[in-house]
Amino acid sequence: MDGCAGPVYRPGMDPAAPAVVDFWFDFSSPYSYIANEWVDALAARHGRTVRRHAILLGATFQAAELKSPVSYPIKREYSIADFARSARFDGLPFQFPADFPIPTQNAARIFWWQHDTVSPAAAAAWSRAALRAYFTRGVALNDVVALKALAGASGLDADAAEAAWNDPVWKARLKAENDAAIAAGIFGAPSFLVDGELFWGNDRKPQIERWLASGRF
């Protein structure tokens, strides 16, 4: 493989949908929290909308034989400081959660339930509510009591949210999204697909911005 790869149209993606920026995130990913705050405005400045995909990093990590950066000695300390610094760089509040990382399948199932039964916009609102709750107030999204309360406080029907995350329909929906992400070459979060070009990481924002403004570079 040379270093000048052309556009990569990946399985599951629709190359005929140039008006969309695909965005994959995990509710336990600090860089996803940051990117989730800027991705809509960036896309809108270039006439695009965002298509969000809540996934589980545990699934993509397993497929790609990767681990969280905080699971490595030395890199762990740097990463925790970099999460906070990267949030400050964007002017965002940030508090490293006492329990990190956490399993986020219930929060992700709420996302897909909202996405499919209400609207992508409702799911996006939930993504902001839950990521902000975890990364600025330490709300434990893996605690079913805390998660149910958060759903209620975010304007959802709390009992219905609890029923959704226990429902095989939304369990299967999330699993299918994880599988599709892996098939599409996603190995981390946040990830972005712009006109078939994959970008990984909150720190690829300048490259995404140029791509949206000027096309392939």
When binding is defined by CB under 8 A, the residue of 8, 121, 153, 172 that contacts its own copies is: 8
Q: How far is the CB of 86 from its own copies (least distance, A)?
A: 7
Q: In the complex, what is the shortest distance from the CB of residue 11 to its own copies, in angstroms, rounded to a whole number?
A: 13
- Residues in contact with its own copies, total (CB under 8 A)? 42
The residue within the footprint of its own copies, chosen from 21, 59, 185, 192 (CB under 8 A), is 185
Query: From the CB of 85, what's the least distance to its own copies, in Å?
Result: 7
Closest contact distance (angstroms) between CB of 164 and its own copies is: 30
The whole-angstrom separation of Cα 25 and Cα 99 is: 19
96 contacts its own copies (rule: CB under 8 A): yes
Subset of 22-81 contacting its own copies (CB under 8 A): 63-66, 72-75, 77-78, 80-81
Please list, in sequence order, all residues whose beta carbon lies within 8 angstroms of the beta carbon of residue 136, skipping any fewer than 6 positions away: 93, 94, 95
**At its nearest, how many Å lie between its own copies and the CB of residue 31?**
11
158, 187, 196, 212: which one binds its own copies (CB under 8 A): 187
Residue 151 vs 198, nearer CB to its own copies? 198
CB nearer to its own copies: pick between 80 and 158: 80
CB 96 to its own copies: min, Å = 4
- Can you state the angle between helices 205-214 and 30-45, rounded to 10 degrees? 20
> In terms of CB distance, is 1 or 16 closer to its own copies?
1
> What token pair was written down for 178?
């994880």
* Of the candidate residues 24, 27, 33, 94, the single one contacting its own copies (CB under 8 A): 94
List the one residue out of 44, 17, 1, 12 whose CA is nearest residue 212.
44
The site for its own copies (CB under 8 A) is made up of 1-5, 8, 63-66, 72-75, 77-78, 80-89, 94-96, 182, 185, 187-188, 198, 200-201, 203-204, 206-207, 210, 217
